[in-house]
Chains A and B, each alone.
Chain A
Amino acid sequence: MPFRRKPLLDRTIAIYKKLIIEVIMDFGFSEEQELFRREIREFVRKNLSPDRYWGLLDEGETDEDWAFIMSISKKLAEKKWLTLSWPKEYGGLAVSHVQSMIFEQEVGYWGIPGTSMGISGTSWVGPSLMLFGTDEQKETFLPPIAAGDEDGVWCTGYSEPDSGSDLASLQTFAERVGDEYVINGQKVWTSCAHRARWMWLAARTNRDVKKKHHGISLFLVDMQSQGLKVNPLRNFVGQHFFNEVFFDDVKIPAKNLVGVENKGWSQLMTALSFERGLALGASGTMKRMLEELTEFAKESGSIRDPLVRARLADFFMEVEKLSLLGQESVWKAERGDIVIYEPSRDKANMDEILDELSRFGADMLGGYSLVHPMHKNSRWTRLKGMIEQAYYFVMGMAVAGGTTDTQRNIVANFGLKLPRS
């Protein structure tokens, strides 16, 4: 059928278009959303120094850093921004996915610290408890997260020495003894364990299963439990992000089991799917890096170099693309679609772009890129150290939460529906 419209319909549409400026297929934001953006920027001006960039750094490097990060968490909690997307009954604002996205983008761009309550109280521990937790668990554990209290800081115990990408093979064992579970085993690469008050733990509760996924349960573990030991692991440039955690007959009350025993895997998958904001925050961070690098090029005069111009343009395109892909997931979630492979697609892409951008940035900085990222106050540091931070951090980020290639496997199976390899 021809789609040429009847003149009357044409006129109706013309009038409609004049009346309603916001036609859909709309990449813009409402006035209310723009206002929220300005409010976040106001918060940044009031509470963060323009001389420090906290992005790409979850726990800071010193006790002073950590105290500052917690003070920001408190302030964010006062505005209920820490738990922006949580339902109101749990101390959230129940905002739309789009508004959460705006927050994530701004957090990335300005490097607002303390938004996650460890790894990660706000984005998966809380929402998972709302779905699978008992009333008592919700009453006990949700308020400290929403309030930005030290008691609401979490770490996540997933990876083990022999269980990385193949997470379901995990062996740390929780045995039910009377009213308690007794935990033995080891976790590793546990970010924030040295700051966290609680651990969101995945442990095996049944070894005698046909499919290894079926014998796993989730627990809430007090990090001050007897028999629990945290050993710092430093990354290859000496920064302390993650740890190993040992469990030697660690006893926890049986009521700290989350949901149903042995059903932990599907709960855990649900929890992972809450994490949609990664690409949004990262594209904010990279937008900032790119703007800083452009300013650096203007000041140094290298902006006149055609090669530098070309590369800046390429990165503009890449960062914009990543940001739009992140927005796609948000839009799908907003209209009620289940987002399955998109976050994996964007995580893999983000790893790659950040890797390239940080190397380009280091090239631009020349000798200044030699300065250690733990010495951000040094007088030789440029761009607040964010380039060096990214340059070394990306190696860890690409592995955390599922390696780049694991993400590609997920996209292959669920996005392109390719047969399993």
Chain B
Amino acid sequence: MDLALTKDQEMIQKSSREFFKKECPTDAVRDMRAKDQGYDKKLWKKMVKLGYSGLVFPEEYGGSDGDFVELALLMEEMGRALVPSPFFPTIQCALALLQFGSKEQKAKFLPGIAEKGTTWSIAHSERSGRLNTSDIEMMAVAEGDGFNLSGTKLFVPYAATAGRFLVTCLTKANEEAGNGENGITVFIVNPKADGVRIEGVPTVAQDGRCEVTFENVHVSEIDILGSLGKGADIIDTIIQQSAVLKAAEMYGGARAVLELTVNYTKERKQFDRPLASFQAVQHRLVNLMTEIDGLKYLVFKAAWGFAKNNPDRSINSAAKLKANAVHSAVCRQGMYLHGAIGWTEEMDIGLYHRQTRAMDFDGGSSDLHREVIACEMEKRTPLYKQVPA
């Protein structure tokens, strides 16, 4: 057990923190969020040039072979600096491509992400407004050399500028060819294909969310990710990985909000003394700090599991479950502790609170992750009942 960062990990943490501090101060964040697409393409290009988008890809796809902990550290810094960017959905899709894509798909798409900064997005949730795979209703019907997709996907992040989508649909097994199974299939879809309609959803986080409607959109069989009817496993993996990455981002954001609030309560004087000298204030801050410290280690233990190719489902889900509680708590309580000024748009704390719902949604809700953990607990034989080998 050694919780110190490796040299590589430290380097990423330090360099990305400096980079975002310089390139993405909070005034810039306000400007970027106000843009139609919700981010600044110039900043995105710089991030790509630094190698962020290909961080965990193998060298052959233009990446730099980083590990999952490095990726989590990068997300932490993005959370701290409130970086508006399509990084998260792009990486969600890229990780799925890496793990489930064919050789051809990887060769075709990954270098574009790593080197050109092609952005991706995941079109998964539908009218239920949840990420549960069992809620998927959109159908893909076999037609010619592939499938025709029809249905509506909701809250697709940064969809308007995405170069590709991953789209989840219900499919029937191809009985004639004797392959596949009934279930979910993940398709790679070009947003420019005929029949795709994209409409922006006005979100508080100003994070480029869209409703994407598919009307008989034809997708070739070679653009299936993984195999026919096996998409539920892919979505499960995406959710597990992105839960940890999103939790890392939320950790960075939560830590920043705590720092803002601690500094504010130290400076603000009432009754001739700093607010931070009142025990009622101190205990709130201490409780928040405790939870944020705890979140940090849940996140990095989970990320370490992925880095070692031995992810632990309960830990991954616990990280997001904790992040959902802590990120929102520190934003809300931090705002209360700021008093009325915290409620104004001039204070930075509001920039974080504007993200609380989006952060909760991406990577999976608390209920979704509670169920993952409960299933794992149910399956496990408790230690005290195990017979020694």
Contacts and interface: CB of A to CB of B under 8 A. Distances in A.
A3 B51 contact: yes
B289 A411 contact: yes
A415 B289 contact: yes
Contacts of A338: none
A73 to B, nearest CB: 22
Given A314-B370, A348-B286, A416-B285, A321 B322 contact: yes
Interface string B1-42: 111111011011001100000000000000000000000000
A46 B11 CA distance: 49
A25 B388 contact: no
Nearest to B280: A421
A345 B289 contact: yes
B146 interface: no
A421 B276 CA distance: 8
B177 interface: no
B384 A25 contact: no
B388 A310 contact: no
Contacts of A418: 262, 265-266, 276-277, 282, 285
B374 interface: yes
Nearest to B51: A4
B371 interface: yes
Interface stretch (B83-91, B163-171, B182-190, B292-300): B292-300
A25 B383 contact: no
A5 interface: yes
B127 interface: no
Given A24-B6, A27-B3, A317 B373 contact: yes
A209 interface: no
Interface in B359-383: 367, 369-374, 377-378, 380, 382-383
A409 interface: yes
B385 interface: yes
Interface in A338-358: 345, 348-349
B128 interface: no
Given A26-B304, A41-B388, A317-B318, A312 B377 contact: yes
B344 interface: no
B388 A7 contact: no
A226 B58 CA distance: 77
B50 interface: yes
Given A45-B388, A345-B286, A421-B279, A313 B377 contact: yes
B290 interface: yes
A110 B3 CA distance: 26
B282 A412 contact: yes
A291 B293 contact: no
Contacts of B307: 23, 25
B294 A322 contact: yes
A132 to B, nearest CB: 31
Interface string A24-58: 11111100010000100110010000100000000
A14 B51 contact: no
B298 A331 contact: no
B116 interface: no
A39 B383 CA distance: 15
B374 A313 contact: yes
B51 A416 contact: no
B5 to A, nearest CB: 5
B199 interface: no
A328 B286 contact: no
B108 interface: no
Contact of B262 (A98, A298, A416): A416
Given A3-B11, A25-B5, A345-B290, A303 B285 contact: no
29 contacts: A3-B15, A11-B59, A13-B8, A24-B4, A25-B2, A25-B5, A26-B304, A28-B1, A41-B388, A288-B384, A294-B378, A309-B371, A316-B373, A320-B314, A321-B295, A321-B318, A322-B294, A324-B294, A324-B301, A328-B293, A331-B2, A331-B4, A405-B279, A411-B286, A412-B279, A412-B285, A416-B262, A419-B266, A421-B278
Question: 3 closest Cβ contacts across the A-B interface?
Answer: A324-B297, A4-B51, A321-B294
Interface of B: 1-6, 8-9, 11-12, 15-16, 49-51, 59, 64-65, 67, 69, 262, 265-266, 273-274, 276-279, 282-283, 285-287, 289-291, 293-295, 297-298, 300-301, 304-305, 307-308, 314-315, 317-318, 321-322, 367, 369-374, 377-378, 380, 382-385, 388
Given A2-B50, A303-B374, A310-B370, 5 more contacts: A25-B3, A50-B384, A409-B279, A419-B273, A419-B274
